[in-house]
Amino acid sequence: MNNSHPDLSGHGAYVSEARHNASPLRITTSVFGLIFTVIGAFIALAILFSKPYLIPSTPTNGWLNFLLIVGAVGSLVASIVLLAKKRKRRGATPYLTAGFTFVGCTAALLLPFPLRGGAGAVTAFAAFVPFVLSIITILVERRPVRG
C-alpha cells in the first residue's frame, strides 16, 4: 500500500495546509541584502582601520561609519531571516530589510569626499538595490483592501 497519500491509506482524510511557493522576489531581495552586507562591512572596516590616512577622524565620520556598520549587520540578519522565511507572505522582515539598507545607503551617500566618488558610490548602490527590492516586495505582497 502506498503511504505517500494519507487519505488513501485507510486512516481517514488528511488535509494539509496549502503552502505558498517560495517568492522569487524575497529570495532576490535577501541575496542582494547579503551582497550589501559584504560590501558595506568591507568599506566600514577599511574606513575604521585607515582613519588617519583615508579620511579625517571627526565625530561625523565616526557616526557615519557606525551607521554603515549598523546597516550592514542589520541587513545581514534581516536578509537571513527573509531567506529562511521565503514562503511567508506577511511579516515585518521586508520592512526591516528596507530600513537597514536605507540606513546603510544614507550613511554611504554622506561619507566624506575621498570615499563618496568610488567606494561610497558602490556601497550606496549596493544598499539601494535591496532597498528598492524590499519596497517592491512590500507592495506586491500587501493584502488588498476590502471595501
Domain boundaries, given as residue ranges, for the chain:
29-140
pLDDT of 5 > 70? The answer is: no
pLDDT of 103 > 90? The answer is: yes
What pLDDT, on the 0 to 100 scale, is given for residue 25?
A: 86
Count of alpha carbons within 13 angstroms of residue 5, beta-carbon side? 5
Question: Environment class of residue 19 by beta-carbon count within 10 Å: exposed (0-12), middle (13-18) or buried (19+)?
Answer: exposed
Could you identify the residue written with the cell 528598492?
132
Average pLDDT of 57-80? 89
Prediction pTM value = 0.76
pLDDT of 76 > 60? The answer is: yes
Among the ranges given (28-32, 100-104, 109-113), the one the predictor scored with the smallest mean pLDDT: 109-113
What pLDDT, on the 0 to 100 scale, is given for residue 119?
A: 74
